[in-house]
Amino acid sequence: MSTGYNTMGDVWIPTPLVYFEEYPAGGFVSVPRDHIKLLMALKNGGELNGVRILKQETARAMLTDQLQKPITHYGAPKRGERQGLVWWLRNWDQPKQAFHHGGGHMFGWRTMAISWPQYDATIVMAINEWAAASSKATSRPVENFVQSWLSAELPARPALPRDIDNLAWKASYLRGVLFVEGYRYGAGVPEKLSLKEAKRIASESVPQTWIGTQPLWDEDAFVEGVQDMNEVMLSVR
């Protein structure tokens, strides 16, 4: 275990190991790479990589509002926060929801674990400092950064249509057409995109959307779209 510090001003004072006999999670000691597995299992109904860690009903209860009203923390209401079992539920009635907990070893260490289920993103921070004179919001800048980053990501894709034949080919052909449109008429490159370059680009592209076990990507269709768009003559007056 790392050495915990109780900071007072500019002095870092090492703290002794303290275990709590009667306190939630007071006897649980872990490291971020293991701690994060609990959150990943929770957002997956209590199971991770085929191994069940919690019963499904337990995971559901832990991520259910238990009070039906906002949390009051040290006498002050916490806006947007609800209380599950152990976990705080942030903006739980909104699309950009998260569950989190800042529990830790309250004498020498701080931790923050937070998961955004809709983004399939989870982070765990472990900090071996506990400021005695003031509360340092060490984890908040990291949370805000990750939240802003995730918010800038594309929204979750709805279910792909099943009534379009050759969807991968058609989508890839259109990508080739639009790629050349941006290359020649957006960026203003006068030369046509060569067949060799189009094939190289297609082979190095990384698809992120799948239909079952097949990617929504067809290299030959992309190249064909590039070739067809190369022959389009644009007249600007």
Mean pLDDT score, 46-51: 92
Cβ 173 vs Cβ 222: under 8 Å: yes
| Residue 158 falls inside a structural domain | no
Same domain for 17 and 88, yes or no, is yes
Same domain for 90 and 134, yes or no, is yes
Range with lowest mean pLDDT among 88-97, 127-136, 210-219: 127-136
Closest CA to 209 of 167, 173, 181: 167
| Residue 64 falls inside a structural domain | yes
Q: Tell me: pLDDT of 72 over 60.
A: yes
The most confident of 19-33, 109-123, 132-146, 190-204, by mean pLDDT:
190-204
Q: Is the pTM of this model over 0.85?
A: no
| Residue 110 falls inside a structural domain | yes
Mean pLDDT score, 195-209: 93
| H helix runs in 19-74, sequence order | 32-42, 56-62
Same domain for 12 and 86, yes or no, is yes
| Residue 235 falls inside a structural domain | no
Mean pLDDT, the chain, as a whole number?
A: 86
Mean pLDDT score, 134-163: 78
Cβ 198 vs Cβ 226: under 8 Å: yes
Mean pLDDT score, 19-39: 78
Element (H, E) at 226: helix 219-230
**Selected residue with higher pLDDT from 93 and 1:** 93
Same domain for 11 and 128, yes or no, is yes
Mean pLDDT score, 203-220: 87
Given this model, what pLDDT does residue 27 score? 64
Given this model, what pLDDT does residue 89 score? 95
Q: Tell me: pLDDT of 26 over 60.
A: no
| Residue 73 falls inside a structural domain | yes
Note down the domain range covering 209: 167-230
| Domain-terminating residue out of 151, 177, 205 | 151
| Residue 162 falls inside a structural domain | no
- pLDDT class of 135 with cuts at 50, 70, 90: low
Percent of the chain surpassing pLDDT 70 = 88
Q: Tell me: pLDDT of 237 over 70.
A: no
Given this model, what pLDDT does residue 108 score? 83
Into how many domains does the chain fold? 2
Closest CA to 64 of 24, 34, 93, 27: 93
Given this model, what pLDDT does residue 163 score? 78
Give the integer Cα–Cα distance in Å for 122 and 54.
18
Same domain for 175 and 147, yes or no, is no
Same domain for 191 and 139, yes or no, is no
Q: 4-25, pLDDT tens digit by residue?
A: 888 888 889 998 877 777 666 5
Given this model, what pLDDT does residue 106 score? 62
| Residue 161 falls inside a structural domain | no
